[in-house]
Amino acid sequence: MNLTKALISLYRGEAPHITVMALSSPLGQEVVPTSHLPLSWVTVGTPPRSYSLAVDGNIVAENIHTNKFILNLARITPGPHNLTLTANGVYTYFNLNPKKLTQQSVKPLPVTSTIKFKYAPSSLRQVQ
């Protein structure tokens, strides 16, 4: 619902210079059994200068210039993680946190999208 509200505001020209972004894969709460996680995302509005990617708050990739990335999980510990993508050089006025109904902010906000996933390497799953 928050994403829809931001997109409608962009479409109506109420916030014409904003960017809206959403990670489209992996699916939220996905269990990832392989050491390489394909990511993809979409943006609408002002194009970002680049993207940065963080796992659990730690930057793992910067200066990404496409809307796809393959994250190497070899150095990531098994278990649940938060993946946050940040669009650099752009802003929004909408907090897209799905846990609260968004209202348009008076201040520009960073453009981010976060997904939770669980890393469960195949070799560990066979042992359990």
Name the fold adopted by 2-122.
Answer: Immunoglobulin-like (2.60.40)
Residue 7 has pLDDT above 80, yes or no: no
What's the predicted TM-score (pTM) here?
0.82
Segment 8-62, tens digit of pLDDT: 776 677 776 888 888 887 666 678 899 999 999 989 889 999 999 999 999 999 9
Q: What is the pLDDT of residue 127?
A: 43
- For residues 40-72, one letter each, b for 16 or more C-beta atoms within 10 angstroms of the residue's C-beta and e for the rest, the string is ebebebbebeebbbbbeeeebbeebeebebebe
Place of tokens 């996680």: 37
Segment 66-116, tens digit of pLDDT: 999 999 999 999 999 999 999 999 998 877 666 656 677 788 989 999 989
Q: What is the pLDDT of residue 50?
A: 98
Q: What is the pLDDT of residue 102?
A: 63
Output the DSSP codes for 13-48. TSSTT-EEEEEEESPTTEEE-SSEEEEEEEEEESPP
With residues binned 3-state (H G I as helix, E B as strand, rest as coil), the percentages for the chain, rounded to 5, are 10, 50, 40
